[in-house]
Amino acid sequence: GNSVTQMEGPVTLSEEAFLTINCTYTATGYPSLFWYVQYPGEGLQLLLKATKADDKGSNKGFEATYRKETTSFHLEKGSVQVSDSAVYFCALGTMNYGGSQGNLIFGKGTKLSVKP
Amino acid sequence: AAGVIQSPRHLIKEKRETATLKCYPIPRHDTVYWYQQGPGQDPQFLISFYEKMQSDKGSIPDRFSAQQFSDYHSELNMSSLELGDSALYFCASSLRDRFPYGYTFGSGTRLTVV
């Protein structure tokens, strides 16, 4: 079946450090890939997405490239800020039979703490 | 821009009580999804609706039921509550035919069962 595996946290970095959070997936067909961010006490916010192989999603300095050959969608940011402290979820979305959107499958989440 | 609205934001219930969570999708979105996120866990898909019909079912307990109404809002009904039902419940909405453009989540309802 479909699944998402992302690196275990927590990840603690100093401000301005480089961030990588690894995410790999298993899926049949051609999934879309997403990164969601959850700040303390809040809901899930879409950070970025990629809908086909070699697409690069980017937002707020974060980037992730859809790599079909390695089934990966690693999240990167060149210089993290204290305000980036949150839990990051990698997610996979597939198309149902008939072309409609199916539900999302999430990774376990990676908690990022950025220290000043 | 209008977002997905969930109510209430917080809910405290006792064991064996019943709870009803509400979700109001983004206007013109025709599909609603419910997710449950336990403490420190990833969100788990419960159930989804399209045009007032159940379209997909995940790990929803038999004690839970849900429906989508003619105005597209959805309600998740939870009966015989257990301590383990304490979680954050998210609703998301989308346009069914807009694959693969994703979903918009509400801020969630935090249910605490005591």
Q: Confidence class of residue B97 from pLDDT cuts 50, 70 and 90?
A: low
**Tens-place pLDDT, residues B32-72:** 999 999 988 889 999 999 888 998 889 899 999 999 999 99
pLDDT computed for residue A114 by the predictor: 97
Query: CB A51 to CB B105 under 8 A?
Result: no
Query: CB A104 to CB B94 under 8 A?
Result: no
- What is the mean predicted confidence (pLDDT) over A29-51? 89
Query: C-alpha distances in angstroms, B113 versus B6, B64, B82?
Result: 18, 15, 7
**Tens-place pLDDT, residues A74-89:** 999 999 999 999 999 9
A5 token code pair: 């595996």
pLDDT computed for residue A96 by the predictor: 67
Q: Does A40 touch chain B (CB under 8 A)?
A: no
pLDDT computed for residue A101 by the predictor: 67
- What is the mean predicted confidence (pLDDT) over A19-43? 91
- What is the mean predicted confidence (pLDDT) over B9-21? 97
**Tens-place pLDDT, residues A91-110:** 998 876 666 667 889 999 99
Q: Does A10 touch chain B (CB under 8 A)?
A: no
pLDDT computed for residue B5 by the predictor: 95
Q: Does A109 touch chain B (CB under 8 A)?
A: yes
pLDDT computed for residue A102 by the predictor: 76
Interface test with A, best of B105, B109, B110, B112 (most A CBs within 10 A): B105
Interface test with B, best of A37, A103, A104 (most B CBs within 10 A): A103
Does residue A95 sit in helix, strand or coil?
strand
pLDDT computed for residue B1 by the predictor: 63
CA dist., res. A63 & res. B26, Å (int): 27
Query: C-alpha distances in angstroms, B99 versus A102, A103, B27, B94?
Result: 8, 11, 18, 9
pLDDT computed for residue B63 by the predictor: 96
| Minimal-distance CA residue of chain A relative to B110 | A41
Q: What integer best gives the mean pLDDT of chain B?
A: 91
Question: Which residue, among A60, A115, A111, A110, has the nearest Cα to A82 in the 3D structure?
Answer: A115
Distance between A112 CA and the closest CA of chain B, angstroms: 13
Query: CB A101 to CB B106 under 8 A?
Result: no
pLDDT computed for residue A100 by the predictor: 65
pLDDT computed for residue A103 by the predictor: 82
Distance between A22 CA and the closest CA of chain B, angstroms: 16
